[in-house]
A and B are shown apart, each in its own frame.
Chain A
Amino acid sequence: MAYLSQYQYYENAGSAPEDKNWGSYQYVSLDDIVNNFLLMYSGNHSLVNNEERYKIRFHAKRAIQELNYDAFKEVKVLELEVGKNLRFVLPSDFVNWVRISMYKDGWLRPLSENIQTLSAKAYLQDNDCNILFDQDGNILSPENSLIDFQRIKKEKKSIYLNPGSRFDGQEGWAYGGTWYFEYRVGKRFGLNTETANFNPTFNVDKKAGVINFSSDMAEELCVLEYVSDGMEGGDDSLVGVNKMFEDFVYADIQYRLLTHRHGVQEYIVARAKKERRALLMNAKIRMSNMHPGRLLMNMRGMDKWIK
């Protein structure tokens, strides 16, 4: 792709949206990667020859996906209000979450994951616990299971944490910002540390594509930080990779093509693998942004007293 003029960069040449090209110079597009690979790394005199373009495109996209999962430090952030059903539908390009927070009173409160089940599917049963079916043989299901119903209706207890309160560590119900407790008799054992948190908890139901929250998250703002695979909803024209990783992507495509090709000598595959690995390390080091300014900041922190 041709270089942009300053006017195109800052103003998108007068077209909307104005910010279309801001920061675009950091990235090299998928089109450029595929085109450059075909031109520079494949051909009659190259190690890669007679490979279909769709294979090159596939490996380029796979490399970009893999980089998005961990090497890139590009976290997407989405803020949505959690409704009364205590559900947050995962974004369409969601692959994995990084952090889930509640935004309240101007503060971002990171939430803890509750790996205990917060949600379940249920089947309708008769008095003898037999499962009920419709005339087509399909199982009848209620809208919500009891565990979901109680969570949504705020009938489930959670632990109140507030060292300044005499109710600290007690189980209770959070309702409309007020906590209600049962009268406590005797001692309690077996504190569940996962749910022992002042803030709401959550559980990601990946199969259902939702995040389920504890009942105190109703009508609160949730900020989801997550990673995607960089495929931009299938629009290839938007897919790109940071220039720091450009050489790695070429090396990765070459390695994958060579390693899956019949008859390529093992030393050639090993060479490609070594090159790929070295370039990935280089790129990660570059992306970690270790420069004197940052080191200085850390060094200054050395003398700080940890209280």
Chain B
Amino acid sequence: MINSVRNTVLAVLNKNNYGYISPSDFNLYAKQAQMEVFEEYFSNYNKIINMENARISGTHYADLKKNAEENMEIFSVSKFLSHSSLNKYFLPSLITTGDESILLNKVLCYYTITTSGINDAVLANSLSCSTATFETDGVSAGDLVVNLDTEDTAHVVSVVSESELLLDADIFPSANTEFKVYDQGGVSEAEKVNHSRITSLLMSNLTSPTMAYPAYTQEQDFIKVFPAAINKPGQVFAQYFRYPYDPKWTYSTILGGSPVFDQSQSDYQDFEVPLQTEYRLVMKILQYCGVSIREEEVAQFAAAAEQKEEPTFSQKQ
């Protein structure tokens, strides 16, 4: 989609010889445009819910919520959170999970340890421990295995024998690594509690956090999970919405003064927002271009066109 958007933008700009924007400028504007569209998803979603409650939204083909959810869920990610210390876990970030989160939607805590030990042989996609009794301990397919040294996680595909598990990922590249196996059924959703409530909640007789009803608070770049017994790597799993990757229009050669699009470049990145937003992306990029080349007409045209041609619920409110 990115090449199509760029071609359209250039075509509009060239129409009255307004000017030209370089690939690097285009990439900057494309990033901003995509971010604007992305952030509107969340506020629009709330408005769509309000429309439903006001009975001004329908079902089937008129189901705006379904479409909005689909657009947002493109950016939904489920990953284990890196353990910091004690009951603290790092929030998703480029360093820990490889992406930045805009909204931590769900935090799950594994709390039932089926077995633990130290692996003593290295087999591909397997966990081997001669002293383990996996079958007797009730390990079953789907249970979670955590390498406590690397914090890598995998799920059990099958129990091969008392001492060997087949895993869906190769997380034990070396021997003498400590591991834990968590029961897939022993998982509960943690509730986010703000700091002004957590102290009272912890002191409450009826509602203090338990393994079955954990809670967490958020500060700086980590979350703190309660009860404090949730304090091991691989115990906290999160579903969150990440920010979209920066779009990048890449080229290989310059032909006749113009760069030629090449999507085989390693740093190529298309827009992640769906195709239906192409029109708005073009208009938003044109607005930035109009400001950039000091052509007020371009900026005004794009802003007016975005408002008029494809009105959204948010703009009408």
Residues of A within 8 A of B (CB): 31, 34, 44-45, 52-55, 57-58, 61-62, 231, 234, 236-237
Say yes or no for B133: interface residue by CB 8 A criterion.
Answer: no
Chain B positions 261-308 with a Cβ under 8 Å from a chain A Cβ = none
Closest to A35 in B: B189
Q: Do A57 and B207 touch (CB < 8 A)?
A: yes
Chain A: interface secondary structure? helix
**A47 vs B212: C-alpha distance when bound (angstroms):** 26
Complex interface: chain A residues within 8 A of B206 (CB): 57-58, 61-62, 231
CB-defined contacts of B215 to chain A, threshold 8 Å? 54
Given A52-B191, A62-B206; A57-B213 close (CB under 8 Å): yes
Q: CA separation between A44 and B205, bound complex, in Å?
A: 30
Q: Determine which residue in A31, A52, A61, A231 has the highest number of CB atoms from chain B within 10 A of its CB, and name it.
A: A52
Instruction: For B49, list chain A residues within 8 Å (CB).
Output: 44
Q: Which residues of B contact A53 (CB under 8 A)?
A: 191, 213
Q: Mask for B89-107, Cβ within 8 A of A = 1, else 0?
A: 0000000000000000000
Whether B212 pairs with A52 at a CB distance below 8 angstroms is no
Closest residue of chain B to A237, judged by CB? B212
Q: Mark B175-208, 1 if CB is under 8 A from A, else 0.
A: 0000000000000000101000000010011110
A58 near B52 with CB under 8 A, answer: no
B interface residues, tally (CB under 8 Å): 14
Verify B53–A52 contact, CB threshold 8 A.
no
Nearest-neighbor residue (CB-CB) of A61 within chain B = B206
Chain B residues numbered 30-49 whose CB sits less than 8 Å from any CB in chain A: 49
Would B207 and A58 count as touching, CB distance under 8 A?
yes
In the bound complex, do residue A54 and residue B52 qualify as a contact, i.e. CB atoms below 8 Å apart?
Answer: no
Chain A residues lying within 8 Å of B8, measured Cβ to Cβ, are: none
Judging by beta carbons under 8 Å apart, are B210 and A54 in contact?
no
**In the complex, what's the smallest C-beta–C-beta distance from A234 to chain B, in angstroms?**
8
Residues of B with C-beta under 8 A to A45: 52-53
Given pairs A44-B49, A54-B207, 16 additional interface contacts (CB within 8 A): A31-B212, A44-B52, A44-B53, A52-B193, A54-B191, A54-B215, A55-B207, A57-B206, A57-B207, A57-B213, A58-B206, A58-B207, A61-B207, A234-B205, A236-B210, A236-B213
Partner of A54, one of B53, B212, B213: B213
Chain B residues with CB under 8 A of A236: 210, 212-213
The distance in angstroms between the C-alpha atoms of A55 and B213, with both chains bound, is: 12
Bound CA–CA A62/B53 (angstroms): 31
**Given the complex, which residues of A lie within 8 Å of B52, measured CB to CB?**
44-45
Q: Which residue of B lies closest to A52 (CB)?
A: B191
CA distance A55 to B191 in the complex (A): 11
Of all chain B residues, which has the CB nearest A65? B206
Q: Give bound CA distance, A57 to B206, whole Å.
A: 8
Which B residues lie within 8 Å of A31 (CB)? 212
Expressed in whole angstroms, the Cα–Cα distance for A164 and B207 within the complex equals: 59
**Least distance between A70 CB and chain B CB atoms (Å):** 19
Q: List 15 A-B contacts (CB under 8 A).
A: A31-B212, A34-B213, A44-B49, A44-B52, A44-B53, A52-B191, A53-B213, A54-B191, A54-B201, A57-B206, A58-B206, A61-B206, A231-B206, A234-B205, A236-B210
How far is A234 from B207 in the complex, measured between Cα atoms in Å? Answer: 10
A61 proximity list for chain B (CB < 8 A): 206-207
